[in-house]
Amino acid sequence: MIRALLAVLAAYALIAPARAETPWTLVKTYPHDPTAFTEGLFYHDGALYESTGLEGHSDIRKVALKSGKVLQRRVVDPPYFGEGIVNWKDRLVSLTWRHRRGFVWSLADFAPQGEFRYEGEGWALTQDGRHIIMSDGTAQLRFLDPDSLAEQRRITVTWNGRAVQRLNELEYVRGEIWANIWYDTRIARIDPASGAVIDWIDIAPLRAKAGVTDSEAVANGIAYDAARDRIFVTGKYWPKLFEIRVETRPRG
């Protein structure tokens, strides 16, 4: 009887819908370039670093948080469609969508320093202090050696046993990997060891507050200021960037 009950509960867990239960509050609103097709975002030494996509319109930029002013910019030449970015030591690493080619730049002045290859598509990057973590639009996350950029391992992201597809922009926050889901307003909080989704953060009210109506103006962009425990989120073509406070419970 007990085994039968456990089987029923397990079956229900596999079909239970994803709910967003992690609470958040809006702290501040900042200006954001409404023409930016945001693909990657991170915070470093008092500034935001952002990459934008679309062939012929892709770039990497350093942005002042309070004003949204572009302080530094590097164009990613056609035919490349720029994707995610991440910092590692004195370098900035960037992806391209379908050309299976990534680039390495100087973090200080965006001067080109090299390139690397990967299989499949390139979507987003983050880092946990030991690895660079990459999404490719599937349910898998790749862990790369930060120096050689060679793939070391993968995890599959799941919710109640089901693969979570369309993992997009990434950020490493408080020991978790956070991921935007393409065409979704929810952010997945992912256990980096197992790939299991711990919970969801739904930022649909922020998309509404941004006032965007274009179907391509999806939530995409998470940045974390670890020193001050600040979280920033935005989206493609959003005229605003939001600082939010998110209450997460320790995993245990």
pLDDT digits (tens, 9 = 90+) for 40-62: 999 999 999 999 999 999 999 99
Largest Cα–Cα separation, the chain: 67
Reported residue count of the chain is: 252
Asked if 233 and 224 count as a contact pair (C-beta separation under 8 A), the reply is no
Contacts with 178 (C-beta within 8 Å, 6 or more apart), sequence order: 170, 171, 172, 187, 188, 189, 190, 201, 222
- Count Cβ atoms below 10 Å from residue 72 Cβ, excluding itself: 13
What is the model's pLDDT at position 18? Answer: 53
What is the model's pLDDT at position 15? Answer: 37
Confidence of residue 21 (pLDDT cuts 50, 70, 90): confident
User: b vs e for 88-126, b when ≥16 Cβ sit within 10 Å of the residue's Cβ?
Assistant: beebbbbbbbeeeebbbbebeebeeeeeeebeebbbbbb
| Token pair listed for 36 | 């930016």
Q: Distance from CA of residue 35 to its chain's centroid?
A: 19
| 75 pLDDT higher than 90 | yes
Dist. CA 131–CA 166, nearest whole Å: 21
| 12 pLDDT higher than 60 | no
Torsion, CA 186, CA 243, CA 104, CA 118, rounded to 10: -10
Dist. CA 203–CA 218, nearest whole Å: 11
What is the model's pLDDT at position 247? Answer: 84
Predicted TM-score (pTM) of the model is: 0.90
What is the model's pLDDT at position 13? Answer: 40
Asked if 85 and 42 count as a contact pair (C-beta separation under 8 A), the reply is yes
Dist. CA 19–CA 85, nearest whole Å: 29
Dist. CA 98–CA 82, nearest whole Å: 10
Task: Write the pLDDT tens digit of every residue in 157-194.
Answer: 999 999 999 999 999 999 999 999 999 999 999 999 99
Dist. CA 130–CA 144, nearest whole Å: 9
